[in-house]
């Protein structure tokens, strides 16, 4: 399906949360590395951004459809990984 193990586990967590809560719109905060700037390569420290991954699905969707949607959402989210969650909250 072109997805990674991480995307498969993320989809499984979404199914589990849907099963227990009944919500079809689930947003998970996922940690992602924040070392994109060249000056940070030789530093020691904890550089981390939180990427909000939103999944919308219905009970009629198959797991492969959900996995495909999660893959597309995470790949689109990785494009904006340099835009930190704290900056997003501040801008909003």
Look over the chain and give the mean of its residue pLDDT values, rounded to a whole number: 84
pTM given for the model:
0.75
The domains found in the chain, sorted by start residue, are 5-91 (3.30.559.30)
**Which pLDDT does position 12 carry in this prediction?**
93
Cα(81)–Cα(26) distance, integer angstroms: 19
**pLDDT over 90 percentage in the chain:** 30
Higher pLDDT, 41 or 30: 30
Residue with tokens 């969707």: 61
Structure tokens belonging to residue 2: 């072109």
């Amino acid at each position: 399906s072109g997805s990674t193990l991480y995307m498969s586990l993320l989809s499984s967590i979404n199914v589990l949360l849907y099963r227990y809560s009944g919500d079809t719109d689930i947003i998970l905060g996922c940690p992602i590395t924040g070392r994109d700037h060249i000056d940070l390569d030789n530093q020691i420290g904890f550089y981390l951004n939180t990427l909000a991954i939103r999944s919308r699905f219905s009970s009629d969707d198959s797991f492969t459809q959900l996995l495909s949607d999660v893959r597309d959402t995470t790949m689109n989210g990785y494009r904006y990984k340099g835009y930190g969650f704290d900056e997003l909250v501040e801008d909003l």
